[in-house]
Structure 1
Amino acid sequence: MRIALVSLAAVAAVAAATPALANEARVEARGGVIWDGSNSDAVAGVAAGYDYDLGDKLFVGVQGSADKILTDNTRVSWGAGGRIGVQPIPGTKVYALADWESKNCKYCNSAVGVGGGVQQDMGSRYYVKAEYQHLLVGDNTPDADRGLVGVGVKF
């Protein structure tokens, strides 16, 4: 019994002395523009995600989003995806991203988005970010591009 208690105390002491990883949850509001070969429209939305550290500089993350093209006859497009990136300096994340997005109108197609972005901390809890995505729509529908800027909070 003493061995179990001493072992448990040793594990607790090591865990308490281990520096905390910067794994973090985040939520954000975002907006921007979406365009194809002939049209451009404003976009607004929200996203939530969680980043996992893979050492000092590397991270991976998962994200869910809800975005709306701000025109008539469109609906909220729900997205799920992830990102992988580096932290070249403390407080800055540069990443590649990919996600799947649901239809944004009744007769539209879902899309796969690929792109990248940069996220910059503004203090210890808040951040700003900018992203670009190329949306691969398919079914002879023209692809689209999207640029977003966002502000968020980390937990």
Structure 2
Amino acid sequence: MKNIVRFAGVALMALTASTAQAAGEARAEVRGGLAWFNGLGASGSEAVLGVAVGYDFDISDSAFIGVEGSADKVLVSGSDILWGVGGRVGAKLGDATRLYAAGGLGFGGGDTAPYLGVGAQQKFGGSFYGKLEYRRYFDIVDINTLAVGVGMTF
């Protein structure tokens, strides 16, 4: 797991250095949805709420790459906040639509879990956007989330 964190850190530094001159935008969002799990003899689903901040670098007129930090909470008593650090890479479909693949590492309560996901983001005039994102966390208990978010770009 330490090697994954080291790799992510080196990749983030390389990304930042190589895209320092590239255009891009910062973003902040709130999101909510459903988390469902199956493992260790149990299964179920619960509501989840979260926040995220990130920055997307335009690498061409039709592609972008971004970094993100997040905090998500499954709304059950005793659950820990799941902190996350990750990235996304995707296609820009015109000025308002982005489709992307995401990946990163979630950690909290002494556990870490890598995740992969996909999403779509749509601007609503000006700086506001909405999004839909699916994530799969890989751990002893596999957790899936589907969240709808609203946010603002800067």
Question: Do the two structures share a fold, i.e. TM-score over 0.5?
Answer: yes
Partner SS state of residue 93, structure 2: coil
Q: Which has the larger share of strand?
A: 2
Greater gyration radius: 1
1:1-155 matches, cutoff 5 A:
23-37=24-38, 38-103=43-108, 105=109, 109-137=111-139, 141-155=140-154
Distance 1:39 1:129 in 2: 24
1:34 Cα deviation after fit: 0.6
- CA RMSD across the alignment: 1.3
Distance 2:27 2:141 in 1: 32
Q: 1:117-143 deviations in whole A, cap 9, x for unaligned?
A: 000000120000000011101xxx221
Residue identity in the other structure for 1:114? L
Contiguous gaps of at least 5 residues in structure 2: 1-21
Residue correspondences, number: 129
1:22 Cα deviation after fit: 5.0
Q: 1:59-114 deviations in whole A, cap 9, x for unaligned?
A: 000000001110011121110000000012220000000010113x46xx321110
Following TM superposition, the consecutive aligned residue runs of length 4 or more in structure 1 with deviations greater than 6 angstroms are: none
1:129/1:22 CA distance change after superposition, 3 Å = farther
Partner SS state of residue 71, structure 1: coil
Residue identity in the other structure for 2:90? G
After TM superposition, the score normalised by the length of structure 2 is 0.80
After TM superposition, the score normalised by the length of structure 1 is 0.80
Residue identity in the other structure for 1:146? T
Distance 1:92 1:135 in 2: 25
